[in-house]
Amino acid sequence: MVTVYTWSTPNGRKPLILLEELDLPYAVVPVNLREHEQFAPDFLAISPNNKIPALQDGALTLFESGAILTYLAEKYDRFLAPAGPERYRTLQWLYWQVGGLGPMLGQLGFFSKADLALPKEHFTAEADRLLNVLDRALAGNAYLAGDHYTIADIACYPWTEAAASHLELNLSGKPAVQRWLAQVGDRPAVKKAMAWKPDNP
201 belongs to a structural domain: no
Supply the CATH number for residue 31's domain: 3.40.30.10
Range of the domain at 27: 2-78+189-195
Number of domain units in the chain = 2
Higher pLDDT, 193 or 200: 193
Domain shared by 44 and 135, yes or no: no
pLDDT for res 196 = 94
pLDDT for res 200 = 58
Question: Which pLDDT band, with edges at 50, 70 and 90, does 99 fall under?
Answer: very high
Question: Which pLDDT band, with edges at 50, 70 and 90, does 163 fall under?
Answer: very high
pTM for the full predicted model: 0.91
pLDDT for res 132 = 96
Domain shared by 91 and 128, yes or no: yes
Domain shared by 90 and 183, yes or no: yes
pLDDT for res 91 = 98
**Which of 187, 112, 128, 129 is closest to 157 using CA atoms?**
187
Higher pLDDT, 155 or 109: 155
pLDDT for res 84 = 96
What sign results for the dihedral spanned by CA atoms 119, 123, 166, 93? negative
pLDDT for res 16 = 98
The highest-confidence range among 66-70, 106-110, 161-165, by mean pLDDT, is: 66-70
> How far apart (Å, rounded) are the C-alpha atoms in residues 120 and 100?
16
Give 109-124 pLDDT, tens digit per residue.
Answer: 888 877 778 888 888 9
pLDDT surpassing 90 at residue 22: yes
Q: Where are the beta strands (DSSP E) in 7-147?
A: 26-30, 54-57, 60-63
Question: Which pLDDT band, with edges at 50, 70 and 90, does 157 fall under?
Answer: very high
Mean pLDDT for all residues in the chain: 94
What DSSP letter does each residue of 125-146 carry, written as one string? HHHHHHHHHHHHHHHT-SBTTB
Lowest mean pLDDT among 6-20, 74-88, 108-122: 108-122
Q: What angle do CA 70, 128, 81 make, to 5 degrees?
A: 20
Domain shared by 137 and 105, yes or no: yes
Domain shared by 17 and 110, yes or no: no
Supply the CATH number for residue 138's domain: 1.20.1050.10
Q: What angle do CA 9, 14, 61 make, to 5 degrees?
A: 100
Give 170-196 pLDDT, tens digit per residue.
Answer: 999 999 999 999 999 999 999 999 999
Domain shared by 60 and 19, yes or no: yes
Domain shared by 49 and 101, yes or no: no
Higher pLDDT, 89 or 110: 89
CA dihedral of residues 163, 165, 167, 172 (deg, nearest 10): 70
200 belongs to a structural domain: no
160 belongs to a structural domain: yes
